[in-house]
Structure 1
Amino acid sequence: MVQVPVTEKAEKPATGLRRRADAARNRARILEAAQDAFIEHGADVPLDEIARRAGIGNATVYRHFPDRRALVRGVVLEVMERAIGVAEQAYAEETDPFEALSRLVHDSVNWKIGALCTMLSEWTDLEEPEVFATKERLDTIARTIVGAAQAAGSMREDVGSDDVFMAVAQLVRPFPGAPYDSLQPFVHRHLQLLLDGLRAPARTPLPGSPQTLEDVRRECLLSRAARRICRQ
């Protein structure tokens, strides 16, 4: 009977762990590079450019993400997971829920969500199970923070969580042709203006009723359908 050296037995699990760690690092580098490239050049940026930015070979990119749509989906999930983590941590640490909301709003600049949301929504099936479930988790913690701030009396009651984050998405969207990072000081000023306007008591009644992202999505679908009919 052939005896297998003890050292060889011990090395195999370690080698597997190293490979998994390397794969996780490569995936994170790809997603970070893809997010920056999408912001600068749009979703049509060559995948070769993303591989170059990540400092890895093209084959490694395709091993993790077989096509562009899969890569965009990966960026969407990564951004939402990051937002969930920030929101949950802020809500757990802050005694004033409005301060938790403030942390979440200002941190949104780091996700670069304003530059990504419109483009990514065109490439991502928001009804796909994992994307939908992650979005629901994000919506839930956002509603929890907004509801807690309103219950505490520190936030006006005539807005919904989707009102807040639609406004945030518009404020953090970069101007065409302007480097994203160069606008961050201005963006934080504008976000603080938004937050001050959300504080209770409300000085001016808002027109209409609180809007939801589903309302916006439905209007977009109707608009696209109308354009298709007009082209026929």
Structure 2
Amino acid sequence: MKSKPMRADARRNLEQILLAARDMIAERGPDVPLDDIARRAGVGSATLYRRFPDRDALFHAVALDALTRTAAAAVAAAEEERDPFEALARYLREALELRVSAVLPALLDLVEPANDPELSPVREESARAVRQLIADCHAAGALPEDVTFMDIVMMLVRIARPLPGPLSAEADQELARRHLELFIHGLRAMRTA
């Protein structure tokens, strides 16, 4: 039986809830109250609970959305950028904005992407696409051979995670963007060294 298409307002509410949850988990951790997420999303708590009956359902959806978007970002970068290094840099910038590297580590105790039948294939697709970006860079001589998938992924996690202290979320994200550009610049310098 086919499910009927989602109404435009319901789709918008879902997207706002997922976006708010993603950002608040990145900023405040997985213990953030669901009512705060609803408030940031601009929906009532009843709307959030109607869509996601509990924290686990919401966090599963956030993880699935984040992984799906990063896989799409990696594929689009590879298809649309002629230079392999620019494709990798574009992916890194988009992944930082998607905050997947801040959100998934925060959810690891609650969501297990490697063991989840819905999340695992999307996680593998995302990893495969990023590995291909790195392989393309290696093949073009645009990235030293000793720079690995784990180096790239772990650096993105380190850059994306919010810093402790009094920084606002906006200031923290701006600092993360700056640090990512420094990392990209360092990788670019390594390829010409």
Q: What CA distance in whole angstroms lies between the structure 1 residues aligned with 2:42 and 2:177?
A: 32
Contact 1:100 1:145 in 2 (8 A): yes
| 1:188 and 2:171 correspond | no
RMSD: 2.0
| 1:144 and 2:132 correspond | yes
Contact 1:143 1:161 in 2 (8 A): yes
The more displaced of 88-97 and 34-43 is 34-43
Contact 1:117 1:169 in 2 (8 A): no
Q: Could you state the TM-score of these two structures normalised by the residue count of structure 2?
A: 0.86
Structure with the bigger RCO (C-alpha within 8 Å, sep 6+) is 2
* 1:55 positional shift: 2.3
Provide the identity percentage: 40
SS in 2 for 1:129: coil
The 1:36–1:193 alpha-carbon spacing in structure 2 relative to 1, beyond 3 Å, is: closer
* 1:202 positional shift: 7.5
| 1:88 and 2:75 correspond | yes
Larger Rg: 1
Q: Could you state the TM-score of these two structures normalised by the residue count of structure 1?
A: 0.73
| 1:166 and 2:154 correspond | yes
Q: What CA distance in whole angstroms lies between the structure 2 residues aligned with 1:111 and 1:133?
A: 19
Provide structure 1 residue ranges, at least 5 long, that are not aligned to the other structure.
1-15, 204-232
| 1:42 and 2:33 correspond | no
Contact 1:156 1:202 in 2 (8 A): no
Residue from 165, 168, 177 that aligns with 1:179:
168
Mapping 1:118-133, distance limit 5 Å: 118-126=105-113, 127-133=115-121
Paired residue total: 187
* 1:114 positional shift: 4.0
